[in-house]
Amino acid sequence: MTTAATASSAPGTGPSGNGVGGLLGMPAFRGLIVANVLSAIAFGTSRFVFVWLVGELTEWNPATAILGILIGLPPLLLSAWAGSLADHIDPRRLGVGLFAMSAAGFGVTGLLVATDVMTVPLAMVCGFVTAIAPSMIMPQMQALVPAIVPAGRLMQGVALQNLSMMVSVIAGVFLGGAVIQAFGVAAGFWLITIAGVLGALRFATMPLPDRAPPTDRRGAVREGLRIGLGTQPLRSLLGITAVMGLAIATSTLLLPEFARDVLGNESLAASALNVFMSLGMMATSMVLATRWTPSRPGLVLTVFSVTFLGGGLIAIGSSRAYLVTALFCLMWGLAGGVAMTLLRTLTQMNTPPELMGRVMGLSMMAQNGAFPIGALLLVGLVSATSVSTAMVIAGFICVACTALIAVGPHVRRL
């Protein structure tokens, strides 16, 4: 099954020249990138701040993994439904509402921290509740790209959105570490609250394509599941997405503890490791957006997924020097920029336009929904071994899973 995304006919969304400048010259795409940056900053900052908060409240290491399970449940449970909403509800109304919900949740959490009311159980509840709105924003943000960008420039559009998202997530982690060190944990939540307010304002004013009149949504999620999980190559692409989610969960949950407990770093140095990842992602995403379109993107994705996705975790977990770890993070970011861009481009190219929101919801469910599953796995691994050993084992699991997917020809031949 192959389909091509079509550009929207909404005002301000038509082509405007070639290259990156042409895409950014489209008001709708430019507005989407700004909203994407704000959403990603909130996403990256929140996970780091919650992990650091729980680390300060208790020295029981499995608590961090339990937090990861709770943070990952909303994407697992709600992403497919959120994708269905993105296919049927006016994008402006949906985006403003979700950003406003996000700002309210993080604002309340910051108030609880600032007033010394926060406890470990309450932090777990806040982590779960505040993850709901951001997890529902992501399918809509991704589904809007093929509705705005001309079909022949989809990879450029995906690369630029991935670039803004990945860099902003990592920047959010770095900002979280810097703000915590300078002003305390509560200030990290104020930062996320501000990002949510600005995101709602951006969505309220940006030109967006018209949504088709609402139709009966009964069975809409089931139809998305049937297409996404019942057909190739979407099933294999979603499988790689899930493995990528496991790798991201391992990095998000264990890297701060690894930096603090194994390498002996403070919060700023720990969050800086993510900056090295972002530099790698920035470099390769920009190359894909401006200079390189692989002639066999499926083969390139297969090679990078099998080799680097789990290999990066193995290398980082085996390191005992900060600079060596930073180098491995940079290399992992370089590979991640290629894999993430090609993975979503191929997924969208093989998705019917009328199901774009639902399949993107499935993609988010596979990636972020792997977070609680990975966190549950890490609870056992960290309890039985150590933070560094758990990271290495998770890396080998990622290698094995991607190798099994690569045995089939469905992705390689794309």
Q: Give the pLDDT score at 100.
A: 93
Query: What is the pTM assigned to this prediction?
Result: 0.71
d(CA 234, CA 240): 10
Q: Give the pLDDT score at 5.
A: 39
All structural domains of the chain with their residue ranges: 27-210+220-407
- The full length of the chain comes to 414
Q: Give the pLDDT score at 197.
A: 92
Q: Give the pLDDT score at 20.
A: 67
d(CA 174, CA 370): 23
Q: Give the pLDDT score at 313.
A: 92
Please name the fold of domain 27-210+220-407: Growth Hormone; Chain: A; (1.20.1250)
| 228: Cα within 13 Å, side-chain hemisphere | 28
d(CA 284, CA 338): 6
Instruction: Show the low-confidence residues of the chain (pLDDT under 70).
Output: 1-20, 61, 166, 170, 210-221, 223-224, 267, 369
d(CA 243, CA 94): 29
Do the Cβ atoms of 186 and 126 come closer than 8 Å? no
